[in-house]
Amino acid sequence: MTCMQHIDPADKRQPYVQIAASIRAAILTGELIPGEQLDTGQELAEFFGVSRVTVQSAVRVLRDEGFVRSRAGSGVYVRELASLPGPEGEEHELAGVAAFLFEMGHLKNLPRSGWLLLGVPEPESVAEHSFRVGMVGIMLAAIDGSADIGRTAALCITHDAHETRIGDVPSVGRAYVTTAKPEAVTAHQAAGMPGEVARAFQSLTAEFEAAETTEAKLARDADKIETLLQAMEYQAQGHDAEPWRETSVNALRTDAGQRLAQAIGAADTRWWISFAKSYKELRDTTRARERPGESAE
């Protein structure tokens, strides 16, 4: 199967994870089309140099994510990304997109639950968090100089889209709560969308979760930096957010992210102070330009 990437011995991920990623990438790029049958388990095992059990584990991941389906006695086939049945009668081709956008509006109502541990009565919403993550991502991509700014911003904005269905689970709860993987949730969210739209959305989730591209690494750092910014703001309000500041900084993996975090750590959260200091100067300059006896409008 020439469109597949072989296992990389230097990659620290489990072989079945690498195999799933390789097949997933081929589907998202259109090298494997909906309805196409995958090679047999034995053929895939020989291609990747692993056991059939390892291949079966990879296929199970892809099936759970909605990328493939198995037919008893026939094999494994690539799933049509927009294959879930809709209501009878004619429906607009973008009806699934419209439904998804309404669903994204729910992120405005979903609080970032980790801040509740600080006693913040009305913490920021996931939507508010995602917006500033996108802004941070734009800055990081520009600082990095080699990343695609648009792609980085898109990864940032969509990185928590799956939380409309599984909620925002704080770090202290992840050891106790098991949820569907983001890729699996995205597959369900994309059902009903035109194929090209669904693939675009799913590819963003897959790229962010894999964290292999420069853009994905920057987007993940942007997520941490936004948390750092919010922690500093809550700290200025009297909340003990120091642990959030420390974990956010320690999680950064890019040079651009670390440089920006240093600047943020040394900055004054009262961003408006420079405007206040310059008010008198601006007012005096304006008055000097006015003609005698004439008021500024």
Q: Write the CATH number for 230.
A: 1.10.3210.10
Pair 105, 199 in one domain:
yes
Pair 211, 166 in one domain:
yes
Residue 275 located in a structural domain: no
Pair 21, 62 in one domain:
yes
Pair 176, 39 in one domain:
no
The SS3 call for residue 70 is strand
Per mean pLDDT, which of 3-17, 151-165, 269-283 is the most reliable? 151-165
The token duo for 98 is 């419209």
Each residue of 218-228: b (16+ CB within 10 Å) or e?
Answer: bbbbbbbbbbb
Percent of the chain whose predicted confidence (pLDDT) is above 90: 56
Pair 193, 256 in one domain:
yes
Residue 56 located in a structural domain: yes
Residue 247 located in a structural domain: yes
Mean pLDDT in residue range 71-99: 73
Pair 242, 103 in one domain:
yes
pLDDT band at 83, cuts 50/70/90?
A: very low
Mean pLDDT in residue range 243-267: 96
Pair 58, 143 in one domain:
no
pLDDT band at 81, cuts 50/70/90?
A: low
Q: Which of 47, 78, 109 is the last residue of a domain?
A: 78
Alpha-helix runs per DSSP H in the chain: 15-28, 41-48, 52-65, 95-104, 126-144, 149-158, 163-166, 182-190, 195-210, 214-236, 242-250, 255-265, 273-289
Instruction: Find all residues with CB under 8 Å of 119, minimum gap 6, and list them.
Output: 239
Question: For residue 74, is pLDDT > 70?
Answer: yes
Mean pLDDT in residue range 193-221: 94
What is the model's pLDDT at position 84? 42
pLDDT band at 85, cuts 50/70/90?
A: very low
Pair 126, 186 in one domain:
yes
Question: For residue 2, is pLDDT > 80?
Answer: no
What is the model's pLDDT at position 293? 55
What does the alpha-carbon distance between residue 180 and residue 176 come to, in Å, rounded to a whole number? 14
What is the model's pLDDT at position 79? 84
pLDDT band at 292, cuts 50/70/90?
A: low
Averaged pLDDT score across all residues of the chain: 88
Pair 175, 241 in one domain:
yes
Per-residue model confidence as pLDDT tens digits over 111-161: 999 999 999 999 999 999 999 999 999 999 999 999 999 999 999 999 999
Q: Which of 78, 105, 129 is the last residue of a domain?
A: 78
Pair 102, 232 in one domain:
yes
Tally of domains in the chain: 2
CATH of the domain at 70: 1.10.10.10
Residue 281 located in a structural domain: no
70 DSSP β-pair partners: 76
Pair 43, 187 in one domain:
no
Per-residue model confidence as pLDDT tens digits over 234-244: 999 999 999 99
Token pair 């993940």 in the structure block, residue: 220
Give the domain extent around 205. 95-265
